[in-house]
Amino acid sequence: MNSSELRGLQALRGLAAMSVMLFHFRWNLNDVYPGVGDRLFGWGATGVDLFFLISGFVITLTMQRTPTGISGTIHFLKRRILRIFPVYYIILLITFLLSGAMSIFHYPDKLVNLISAILFQPVYPDHAPFYVDDGGMYGIRWTLNYEIYFYLIIGLSIFTPRRWTGIALYFLLTLFLLPVMSGYAFTLSPQGYPYASPWLGLITNPMIFLFLEGMIVGLLYPLLKKLPAKLMAVAFTGSVILAIVIFKNNQLIGHGVTSSGLVYALMLVCIIGAEKAIGKYIPRSLVALGNISFSLYLIHTLMNTGIGKRFESLGIESGVSRFTLSVVLSLVLAWLAWRYVEQPFYAKRKGAGKWVSVAGN
């Protein structure tokens, strides 16, 4: 069983995207019912941490099926490019057109933001863990800078015969030795280290430990499959209840392995171990949500910016109506992007090689 058959994992991916979306739409409720949006969805930004964990897990399974050498590296990176770039750049173009288009060139900060989005370039060293204007146009892209960097390092490691040793040594260097040798105290805080270079800030940022945590779960996958599935299903239920209680009390709602990463790592381990018991009962709608999760993640902020301005011209300022409309329209547009952009390129990915078949990797 590979990750394309893990229905629970795919559902979890969809719920991660949904939580980030609801976090960004919560202001609609706050405007009418002060504080309600924050109480309901103030934890939602942590869905990013779950994404990183899942990425680490899936990439580990992918690596185990990819042969060593230059052909394996090219195959791996080509699949990553076809997975991310087409839908990313199409939604970036739409965002650009709906956010003032050419007027952006009259504002230096907006132009820097656009160039950063095109090149996956971190810009602001003092704005960790984002390193871009996360409140600006396409600000949601900050996580893709981490993803692209992580995929590049993993892709290069596939070229070497001792890939796991190479990965361990590289991240030991960047996440521990480099900061310590630079005179900083080691930290797991997502605020990272105060380097003058945003690139150094990003590659040393402890957010990357979330990917590594997911990779460890991936390495443990053969063991997790052997655990009693029904018992793991009970454990997963417990992990969900625990997450609800913790987040409801505004605890561990920050980014990083010492915050929400702890909660989500437990949830990830449990749902993977419980797959044989609960996989067939996962609603198709949740699996479908997982399928469109990447497009949903990228496209939903348009409801607060470019498309959101059109809402206001129709007299839909905020409140439950705009919140609901934003959610529904985001889901519809995400499905269209998945169906007519992601799926055609997914077919190309399947034709790009014969070694790996991992849904959503």
For the stretch 123-147, pLDDT in tens is 999 999 999 999 888 999 999 999 9
Residue ranges in the chain whose pLDDT is less than 70:
1-4, 101-102, 348-361
Residue type (1 letter), 329: L
Does residue 78 sit within a domain? yes
pLDDT at position 353:
43
Which range of residues forms the domain containing residue 336?
3-351
Q: How far apart are the first and last CA of the chain?
A: 15
pLDDT at position 216:
98
The whole-angstrom separation of Cα 213 and Cα 172 is: 14
**CA angle 130–135–140, rounded 5-degree value:** 60
Does residue 112 sit within a domain? yes
The whole-angstrom separation of Cα 279 and Cα 225 is: 13
Does residue 144 sit within a domain? yes
Does residue 358 sit within a domain? no
**CA angle 147–149–152, rounded 5-degree value:** 105
The whole-angstrom separation of Cα 188 and Cα 212 is: 13
- pTM exceeding 0.85: yes
pLDDT at position 301:
93
The number of distinct structural domains making up the chain is: 1
The whole-angstrom separation of Cα 191 and Cα 55 is: 21
Tokens 């590979």 belong to residue:
2
Contacts of the segment 174-178: beta carbons below 8 A, 24+ positions apart? 174/203, 174/204, 174/208, 175/204, 175/206, 175/208, 175/209, 178/204
Does residue 359 sit within a domain? no
State the CB neighbour count (10 A cutoff) for residue 165. 11
Does residue 356 sit within a domain? no
**Token pair listed for 115:** 């160039």
If you average pLDDT over every residue of the chain, what do you get? Answer: 93
* Angstrom distances, CA of residue 70 to CA of 61, 77, 95, 174, 361: 19, 11, 36, 24, 20
The whole-angstrom separation of Cα 300 and Cα 312 is: 17
**Token pair listed for 217:** 């779960």
